[in-house]
Amino acid sequence: MLSKKCVWPALLMIVLTLGAWCPATAQENSESLKVTGSLPKNPLPPPATSGQIPLNATPIEPQSSPNLNVPNSGTAPFEHMDSVASLPQIFTRQWSLTSEVPPESLISERYIRSVDQEARALTLKEAIYIALRNNPNVAVATLNPLASIESIRVANGNFDPNTAAQIDTGKTVVPVTSIFQTGTSTTSAVSKLYDWNFGLNKVSSYTNGTFGVTFNNNRSSSNSSFSGVNPSYTPNLTLSLSQPLLQSFGWRFATISVRIAESNQKVAQWTYGQTLQDFVQRIGNEYWGVVLNEELLEVARAALRFNEELVRENTISVKVGTLAPLDLQEAQSAEATAAANVYTAEAQLKNSRAQLRQDVMLNPKEMFIPQEIEPATRPNPTEQVAESEERALEMAVQYRPSLSGLRESIRNALLQVKFSENQTLPTLNLGTQFGLSSTAGTTPCTTVLGGIHGNCTPSNSTTPNSGAELPFSGFYGDALNRLWQFSWYNYAAVLTFQMPLDNAVPRAQLAQARILYEQSRMQYRAALSQAVVDVETGIADLYADVKRAQATAQATYYARQALHDEEVRFRVGMATTHDLLQFQEEQVQAEGNQVQAEVDLENARLALWHAEGTLLQAFQIDFQLQDPRETPWFATF
């Protein structure tokens, strides 16, 4: 046995000696090999090969599923409440000389330096729940359906009765140009007028016609001799209707803008649901990314420990003369490579932890850097998989939010086509109006000329019945009472027709609407085809990763056994350092492949649930389409 151990070093020395005796002419004809690079003068300390990789984290209290539905009441914090008490505050803000500064524009150096040093151990479900509550991107996505709800209210606002009021006064003083105007007692004609008018307009949610009610009042007084009622009160009550008969008229056409807004809101909800699906998958991938990098760092550290021990043993063997320096250099090269791999693994772990930390945003202390997240869930390659392609495709068509949103977009486009078809009709409007009027006031007895028999005697005349008094004596209340006698009225009816000769604009808009409708249908078909690809890919990847996880586990087992046997051969001098490093490299690769396969299996589960549209249900997250319909009182008639 000892003689065999001595033979190998002797043979190695002979080979090296023969290499040195090669003819010099051969070396002169070939270029000499140049080795570039050098060892650092101040080498960095080697990376750690031991120590705890997972963070010292404390568990968190049980987390409940977040409520991600977007009801119509969610807009309450953003709405303006028309309370009388708020009017002075609003008026003061409009005239304030100060400018409002948003909090985000103020940068605090102390806040930027604040870091929450605590770490929390979270399961995947807990990390998803917290991220859905805290991540600002989710909050941004939530606001889109809320804004669409307000669009519905804007559409309903077309039926909101519009009230108007006007109060004015005026006085006119002009020179007298005739003695018959005011007599001879004054040189000025004076008239004074007071108006108080009210109006109400309402668009009907049934016929799309506009009803109008106006109530105008005026009080006039003057010093004119010809004023039979002075001062006088004149109320006028007018009812009007403007009704389209062709364009903008039809069954439920008045509310078509409301239905389009409701459809848009449903599309916004489905888009929001798809955003949630994408976000949950992203959190899951980042979570398993941290797990993967922790395991890969452990594999890299184990490889570095192996190479450090090999360098130590080879150094001793070289010193005692039982091993060539070449073997030591090869071991040192492998050690440096393993150290570089540890550095890379540490950086990847740090990056993945930072990404998960910022997306989960667990920040109870409201610091600039939130708490670190330590995964408490590990891959489970033994979990049973029972997914069929037929069932997965049915689930995707039924539950995938993106497909539901596209189906709603098709319905929306069809409503747009219906609206555009109506706009190609000519404009034919019927306008009607009916009004009542009356008057009351002071009716002086005015002298009549020309021998006309009067009904009163003026105060400045001795001739009986030489004056006339109008039968409108009274006050404002008397004028209102006389209004309902229907003695003084007016009415009007008008029929208007309008149509462009070529009708080019409506026809072009109708063609655009039909193109958009067809485009939305084709987009749905394309998305449906992509959903089939995603489902089939997800199932194929899932079953492949199940088998891959099993195969890589076996590969790791055999690689470890092979390395163990090769180490035994190396110890007895039957294997070289190069052979040993090859087996060690195969083991490291097998261990890395196993870790990667197990994490890929977990990500494949997430990908399949995402393709099916059931990712939220898989984590017991409630998301349901909310009915956006709401009918305020003014939209019921």
pLDDT surpasses 90 at 20: no
Is there a single domain that holds both residue 281 and residue 299? yes
- What is the DSSP-derived secondary structure letter of residue 332? H
Looking at residue 72, what is its pLDDT? 86
Is there a single domain that holds both residue 386 and residue 472? no
Is there a single domain that holds both residue 178 and residue 271? no
**Positive/negative CA dihedral, 516, 522, 525, 527:** negative
Is there a single domain that holds both residue 269 and residue 372? yes
Average of per-residue pLDDT across 5-31: 37
Is there a single domain that holds both residue 273 and residue 371? yes
Let me know: does 47 contact 340? Beta carbons within 8 Å: no
Which tokens hold the place of 435? 């009004």
Under the banding of pLDDT at 50, 70 and 90, the label for residue 29 is very low
**Rounded Cα distance, 213 and 436, in Å:** 12
- pLDDT tens string 568-611: 999 988 999 999 999 999 999 999 999 999 999 999 999 999 99
Report yes or no on 330 lying in a domain.
yes
**Domain region containing 466:** 161-244+439-487
Report yes or no on 210 lying in a domain.
yes
Is there a single domain that holds both residue 302 and residue 388? yes
Let me know: does 128 contact 280? Beta carbons within 8 Å: yes
Write down the mean pLDDT value for the chain: 88
Closest CA to 381 of 596, 175, 237: 596
Using CA atoms, how far residue 117 sits from 267, 346, 372, in Å, is: 42, 19, 7
Looking at residue 26, what is its pLDDT? 34
- Look at 78-87, 294-303, 487-496, 552-561 and tell me which has the smallest mean pLDDT: 78-87
Is there a single domain that holds both residue 274 and residue 186? no
Report yes or no on 472 lying in a domain.
yes
Report yes or no on 334 lying in a domain.
yes
pLDDT surpasses 90 at 222: no
Which pTM does this prediction carry? 0.84
- pLDDT tens string 334-373: 999 999 999 999 999 999 999 999 999 999 999 999 999 9
Is there a single domain that holds both residue 372 and residue 282? yes
Report yes or no on 348 lying in a domain.
yes
- Look at 96-100, 256-260, 478-482, 612-616 and tell me which has the smallest mean pLDDT: 96-100
Beta bridge partners of residue 615, listed in sequence order = none
pLDDT surpasses 50 at 5: no
Is there a single domain that holds both residue 382 and residue 354? yes
- Look at 317-321, 396-400, 538-542 and tell me which has the smallest mean pLDDT: 317-321
Closest CA to 163 of 197, 201, 195: 201
- What is the DSSP-derived secondary structure letter of residue 72? G
- Percent of the chain whose pLDDT exceeds 70: 89
- pLDDT tens string 229-278: 889 999 999 999 999 999 999 988 999 999 999 999 999 999 999 999 99
Report yes or no on 181 lying in a domain.
yes
- What is the DSSP-derived secondary structure letter of residue 50? S
Is there a single domain that holds both residue 544 and residue 578? yes
- What is the DSSP-derived secondary structure letter of residue 238? E
Report yes or no on 464 lying in a domain.
yes
Number of domains in the chain: 2
Looking at residue 558, what is its pLDDT? 97
Is there a single domain that holds both residue 387 and residue 518? yes
Report yes or no on 63 lying in a domain.
no
Alpha carbons within 13 angstroms on the beta-carbon side of residue 197 total 14
Is there a single domain that holds both residue 476 and residue 395? no
**Rounded Cα distance, 543 and 538, in Å:** 9
Under the banding of pLDDT at 50, 70 and 90, the label for residue 92 is confident
* CATH code for position 143: 1.20.1600.10
Looking at residue 40, what is its pLDDT? 67
> In degrees rounded to 5, what are phi and psi of residue 182?
-125, 5
pLDDT surpasses 70 at 455: no
Q: Is 46 exposed, middle or buried (0-12, 13-18, 19+ CB in 10 A)?
A: middle
Closest CA to 632 of 258, 266, 254: 258
- pLDDT tens string 302-342: 999 999 999 999 999 999 988 899 999 999 999 999 999 99
Looking at residue 179, what is its pLDDT? 65
